[in-house]
Chains A and B, each alone.
Chain A
Amino acid sequence: MSYLYYASGLALITLAGLAAQPAFAETPNEILASIQKEAAGTPGFQGFSAARGEGFFKAKHGNELSCSSCHTENPAALGKHAKTGKVIQPIAPPANAERFSDAGKVAKWFKRNCNDVLERACTPQEKGDVLAYLLTVKK
């Protein structure tokens, strides 16, 4: 009879393993979709553009910093903090599976970094364009 206990225990563990949530709460595409929902509310919204996102990422916006000041011109490469020199892991999801996998973390860093670079919040259009661009960057 004991084999029944073992078998059911094994079944339970297998099921638990299969049902286990993946380590990341969201995928970059899910996050892009939720930014799109935000942007859709804006009049005249016509979707995201990776080309526009690339231009936005690399440009200065009235201040000394651009996104690429820390994340470099190649978002698949290691970045470096402009002030402290601390190494920053690649920001492009194709090069770093951890990026854009946590909506809270994405919101936090857009808030901080857009404040630093643009002295304002990024619009959903801008965020979407940038993410669309980052998703196209080859490793």
Chain B
Amino acid sequence: MSISYKNFPRAVAVAVLAMSVTMSVAQADDDRDERYGEEHSEGGSGKYGGENRGNPLQPAQINAKFQQECSTCHIAYAPGLLPAESWRKIMAGLGKHFGSDASLTGQENKEIAAFLVNNASNRWSASTAPLRITESVWFKRKHDGHEISPAVWKNPQVKSPANCTACHPQADRGNFNEHGIRMPR
């Protein structure tokens, strides 16, 4: 079968048109917020009222102590999910860590706190410092009713919004990429 090049220019034009349409649809990824975040921000300046997770969410090299000490009861939450002040507060109150005693030795606390603070969100301009990732504006927007059906939260496999890996299988590696999401049935 030989290819006819008679309609080649037209084929190219159609291909370019198709690609640009596809690209604009692909860019519409990360939803309404990319376009409207600035205009409809909560009160503080910028996207999500200044409460935005960092990019990247965590450095390429994760502190080993942090990984070891902070993943026995839950995943080691990526430091970029919260601002530095939130991490300081968490690390100062480990004896009463959301109802559990999670205390560390002085040395361990110092090392882990430094890692968290130094790698906290680089896009958090608000002066707020919530203790819970799930209380931040970016989290609430990304997981609101437009995005996620309320039924999902009732699924016993999910159990709690703090259980990231229920839908984000790579959350323990700091990877929350939209394309990797698997909603439990």
Contacts and interface: CB of A to CB of B under 8 A. Distances in A.
B67 interface: no
Given A81-B73, A84-B73, A86-B73, A112 B159 contact: no
A115 interface: yes
Prevailing SS type, chain B contact patch: loop
B14 interface: no
Contacts, number: 33
A83 B72 CA distance: 12
A116 interface: yes
Interface stretch (B20-28, B51-59, B97-105, B175-183): B97-105
A111 B101 contact: yes
Interface of A: 81, 83-86, 88, 104, 108, 111-113, 115-116
15 contacts: A81-B73, A83-B73, A83-B98, A83-B100, A84-B74, A84-B163, A85-B159, A85-B163, A86-B73, A88-B72, A111-B101, A111-B103, A113-B101, A115-B95, A115-B101
Interface of B: 72-74, 95, 98-105, 159-160, 162-163
